[in-house]
Amino acid sequence: MREPQLSGVGVSPGRASGPVVKVTESIEEPASTPAPDDPHAEAARVAPAAQAVAARLEATAERTSGDAAAILTTTAAMAADPALVSQAEQLVTAQRIPAARAVYEAANNFATALASAGGYMAERVRDMHDVRDRIIAELLGIEPPGVPALEQPSVLVARDLAPADTASLDPDKVLALVTEEGGPTSHTAILARSLRIPAVVAAKGVLTMDADAVAVDGLTGEVRPVDPSAPVVTATESGTAEWNGVGATSDGHRVAVLANVGAPADALTAAEAGAEGVGLFRTEFSYLDAGAEPTVAEQQAAYAAVLGPFAGKSVIVRTLDAGADKPLEFLSQEDEPNPALGVRGLRVSFERTGVLDRQLTAIAGAAEESRAEVSVMAPMVATAEEAAWFADRVRAAGLSRAGVMIEVPSAALTAREVFDAVDFVSLGTNDLAQYTFAADRQLGAVAALNDPWQPALLRLIALVGEAAKEKGKPAGVCGEAAADPLLARVLAGVGITSLSMNPGSIRAVGASLASATLADCERAAEAALAAPTAAAARIAVAEVQ
Ligand code: PEP
Ligand code: MG
């Protein structure tokens, strides 16, 4: 009997059909016997295996660029981590267990520590398991789990993909990607878009779907079984990647194409990818594992390193966004029953004003050192009064341009009053979606609600766009919504003046804007805003193009 079709969240447009290849989940748990005859010789096998895995990942990183390269380099560093290697070596000698078992146990200890740190750290657990399995496979001389070598163009089906797996996919062999878990802002989604592979995430039931071949629609999110003897079909709809480097529609309406960065390496990647500036510098990324508040001098050096590649260009530095999914030890709150709704983002600064003022001093110093055109914005602002409070402190620190993020629905609803207090705003659509739909942005089970094409989210963004036009001030988008080439036109059409994204998406978004007029974008916006559902919005916009 033919299974009914499944519906997930389409995250990378395009249609494809072809044979299914399921990605194996993880290797079998290695046995703790037989005890090695020579534990020291056995322990000595761990480091070369870890080095071999790291070298392979680094070699793949060198053949790729942008986000994919950055992800592979980070995973390679985890594989070669001396702490992981030495813990495994000690387990071999102390417990007289085989090297593969010792790596399994040591990596699991690290993964447990990451999981209990929560937030961004917890998201690294998948990477740690991936590294564990690769080193064990190296020690046992078996194929590592993950994406098998594809003999023919195929549709990959997985629970979720390790970032390193997604980053090393061959777009010529992978017709489409479908994952049971993951959300629109997962690595799989971001990388699928930059590789221009149609993709559907959060497709519940796809792993148990009994189908040898499927048809996938990365726009509507549909996955349905097809006759395996039918010809393979592929039609990517992400437009041409040709772009002249200036963010504008074909009739010259400017929409700056900017990058989101968190570290000096990202800034270089972003500059190489053609970013016109930085729309979001997440300063807290530098301090996720800092035990104490960094000094002004330390902060100034860290910020100047990121600003360096953008001398003469615009960079928006966000003040520390601590709390909820990004806890910082030196700003940690008492246990809160609901951290995403607690004292996070700018709210921390009301109680710890000195930390904000010292950060602003460091940013002002770094701006002078680097000669970038620096603006500063605050995260998690709920009211116009909060915006005015922040703008006063920014100006008192000698910085001339102050803005706020709009990522709480109350700030979007009072955008006019917020604009009166600041020079610009930037919509953080990841959090704005989370708070609009009361849906945790990190939870696969509610990923469909966090889809940036949801009409309720688009209508809030449009309110801010209207207020921006009325006040004659800029309104950017720096959440993942900005990285979707088709949605970029909708955003331009509602009056958004800049789009900031992961560097891997810059070219596709720039090209998408360049191949539409402002009137096309306005028609796309009208179609999306009138749609009753996210899927209908995607289809309506694809049809008007
Ligand atoms: C957002 O919330 O959309 C955003 C850009 O900020 P972050 O993802 O860092 O919370
Ligand atoms: Mg946010």
Closest atom of ligand 1 to 479 CA is: 3
Ligand 1 pocket test, pick from 326, 405, 496 with the greatest ligand atom count within 8 Å of Cβ, gives 405
Closest atom of ligand 1 to 427 CA is: 3
Ligand 1 pocket test, pick from 282, 344, 437 with the greatest ligand atom count within 8 Å of Cβ, gives 282
pLDDT band per the 50, 70, 90 thresholds, residue 435:
very high
pLDDT band per the 50, 70, 90 thresholds, residue 117:
low
Each residue of 146-190: pLDDT tens digit?
788 788 899 999 988 876 777 778 888 999 999 988 777 666 777
The residues that bridge with 315 in the sheet, in sequence order, are 278, 374
The amino acid sitting at 510 is: G
**Helices vs. strands in the chain: H and E counts, helices first:** 22, 17
Mean pLDDT of 50-59: 93
Q: Under a CB-based contact definition with an 8 Å cutoff, are residues 427 and 379 in contact?
A: no
The answer to whether residue 127 scores a pLDDT higher than 90 is: no
Q: 187-191, 202-206, 458-462: which has the minimum mean pLDDT?
A: 187-191
CB of 282 shorter than 6 A to ligand 1? yes
Q: Under a CB-based contact definition with an 8 Å cutoff, are residues 256 and 523 in contact?
A: no
The answer to whether residue 3 scores a pLDDT higher than 60 is: no
DSSP letters, 25-58, are --PPPPPS-SPPSSHHHHHTTHHHHHHHHHHHHH
DSSP classification of residue 240 = -
pLDDT at 238: 45
Ligand 1 pocket test, pick from 258, 321, 325, 426 with the greatest ligand atom count within 8 Å of Cβ, gives 321
Q: Under a CB-based contact definition with an 8 Å cutoff, are residues 6 and 59 in contact?
A: no
Q: For atom 10 of ligand 1, which residue has the closest CA?
A: 431
DSSP letters, 405-441, are EE-SHHHHHTHHHHHHHSSEEEE-HHHHHHHHHT--T
CB of 441 shorter than 6 A to ligand 1? no
Beta-sheet strands, E only, within 52-173:
154-158
CB of 431 shorter than 6 A to ligand 1? yes
Token pair, residue 446, equals 């509610």
pLDDT at 423: 98
DSSP run (H or E) holding 231: none
Q: For atom 3 of ligand 1, which residue has the closest CA?
A: 428
Mean pLDDT of 420-427: 98
The residues carrying an active-site annotation are 187, 478
Total Cβ atoms within 10 A of residue 316: 25
Q: For atom 6 of ligand 1, which residue has the closest CA?
A: 428
d(CA 436, CA 434): 6
pLDDT at 494: 98
Mean pLDDT of 470-476: 98
Mean pLDDT of 332-360: 92
pLDDT at 168: 75
pTM, two decimals, is 0.75
Each residue of 22-34: pLDDT tens digit?
987 778 899 999 9
pLDDT band per the 50, 70, 90 thresholds, residue 242:
confident
Q: For atom 4 of ligand 1, which residue has the closest CA?
A: 428
Beta-sheet strands, E only, within 159-212:
174-179, 199-201
Three-state secondary-structure class, residue 216: strand
CB of 319 shorter than 6 A to ligand 1? no
Total Cβ atoms within 10 A of residue 82: 9
pLDDT at 60: 84
Centre of ligand 1 from the C-alpha of residue 430, in Å: 5
CB of 133 shorter than 6 A to ligand 1? no
Average pLDDT, the chain: 90
Each residue of 367-380: pLDDT tens digit?
999 999 999 999 99
Centre of ligand 1 from the C-alpha of residue 25, in Å: 30
pLDDT at 301: 97
Q: For atom 1 of ligand 1, which residue has the closest CA?
A: 428
The answer to whether residue 240 scores a pLDDT higher than 50 is: no
Closest atom of ligand 1 to 430 CA is: 3
Each residue of 251-308: pLDDT tens digit?
999 999 999 998 888 898 899 889 999 999 999 988 887 889 999 999 999 999 999 9
Centre of ligand 2 from the C-alpha of residue 430, in Å: 6
Token pair, residue 218, equals 């990365």
The answer to whether residue 90 scores a pLDDT higher than 50 is: yes
Higher pLDDT pick, 118 / 401? 401
Ion ligand 2 — residues with CB < 5 Å:
407, 428, 431
CB of 428 shorter than 6 A to ligand 1? yes
d(CA 294, CA 284): 11
Closest atom of ligand 1 to 280 CA is: 5
DSSP run (H or E) holding 91: helix 82-95
Token pair, residue 259, equals 């990058």
